[in-house]
Chain A
Amino acid sequence: MPWFEDVKIGTSSELGSYTFTQEEIIAFGKKFDPQPFHVDPEAATESAFGGLIASGWHTCSIWMKLMIASRTDDPVEEEPDEDGRTPPRGGPSPGVLDIRWKKSVRPGDTISYRTEVVEKIDLKSRPNLGIVRSLNTGTNQNGETVITFLGQGLVERKAPLNTAN
C-alpha cells in the first residue's frame, strides 16, 4: 500500500463479495457466538429475527478476509522511493469505530464489501506512523446495507512527522 503521505482521501475500492452459507454461519456461531439465532435454525425461527442469522463478528471477519484477499490478489506495484525503501505493507489497527449491524445476514445472502478512505490523522506520539480511517460497508444482493464501520490502520510515513511545532 502507499506511504501515509500518499494515501488520498476519497480513494475507494470494491473488496469483493462473499456468500454466507448456513453451515458457515452455524460453525462460526458454535465457536464464538452460540446464541440460538446464530446456531439453531429451528430456535431461530421462533426468535425475534424469524430465522437463522450470522453473528455480527462473522460479518466483520469476512470483511477482513476480503480486505486481505484484495491486497494479495491485486497488489499495487509501488516503486521503491529515492532511498530504495519499499512502500509499507498493511499494518496493524488500533481499533474500529461505530460498527452498525443494520440488517441481518441470512443463509444464502451475498454481501459485497467496499472501503473508502475518509480521514488521515497525524500521530505526534508516533511520528513514523499515521492513522488512515476508512468507511467500510457491506451490501446484500438486494442493495441493502447490512454493515458499516470506520476502520483504522496504522500506516508508515515516508518521512517522520515534523513534531517541532
Chain B
Amino acid sequence: MTAPIYFWEDIAPDLSFETASHKASTEEIIEFAQEFDPQPFHLDAEAAKDSLLGGLCASGWHICSLSMRLIYDAFLYKCAALGAPGIEEVRWRKPLFVEDTVRVKVTVLEKRSSASKSDMGLVKWQWEMLNQNDETIALLSSWMMFSKRPHPHTPSEEHA
C-alpha cells in the first residue's frame, strides 16, 4: 500500500485537476446494468433507441462509480482519505453513451476542520464528468473527509 502523501492540509483550497480519460465499452456498460440496473436503455441497443435517452447508455450509478474510480486513480490513491459522509447532489445531465470517452474535472470548493474530530478535516469538491465533446455528463458535489497531518515528531521520536 502506498503511504499517504496528501493530508487535509496538503489539499489546496483552489485545487483543480482532471482525471485520465476512459472509453466506456458496451460490455462494461451492460455488465454494470445486468448486475445493478437492468433497464432496457442500459441493456439493449434496440430498446434503448426508442427510450427517452435515445441510445444504449450507462446507469447513473455506473457514472458515479466510474467517476469515483477515475478520481481514485488520479488523486485519492495518494491521500489519507477517510470516506464521505454523503453527497449533496448528483445531476445526470446527459447520457453516457457506449464508446463515449469520459474524464472527470475535479474542483475543490471549500475546506473546513471537523468540529468533532480534531485530527480530521473536510473538503467540499465538485466532480464534473465530461465526454469527448466537452459536454457535461454528470455534476456532483460532495464533502469528503481527510486525516490531518500528524503532529510534528517529538524529540524522542526524532532520535529514536
Contacts and interface: CB of A to CB of B under 8 A. Distances in A.
B155 interface: no
Interface in A73-99: 90-99
Given A57-B68, A61-B36, A64-B61, A91 B52 contact: yes
B118 to A, nearest CB: 14
Contacts of A35: 72, 76, 81, 83
Contacts of B76: 35
Interface stretch (A9-17, A26-34, A117-125, A136-144): A26-34
B24 interface: no
Contact of A95 (B51, B60, B84, B86): B60
A8 interface: no
Contacts of A101: 83-86
A139 to B, nearest CB: 16
26 contacts: A32-B65, A33-B68, A33-B72, A34-B77, A35-B76, A37-B83, A43-B1, A56-B86, A57-B61, A60-B64, A61-B36, A61-B59, A62-B36, A64-B36, A64-B59, A72-B38, A92-B41, A92-B92, A95-B90, A95-B91, A96-B90, A97-B89, A98-B87, A99-B86, A100-B86, A101-B83
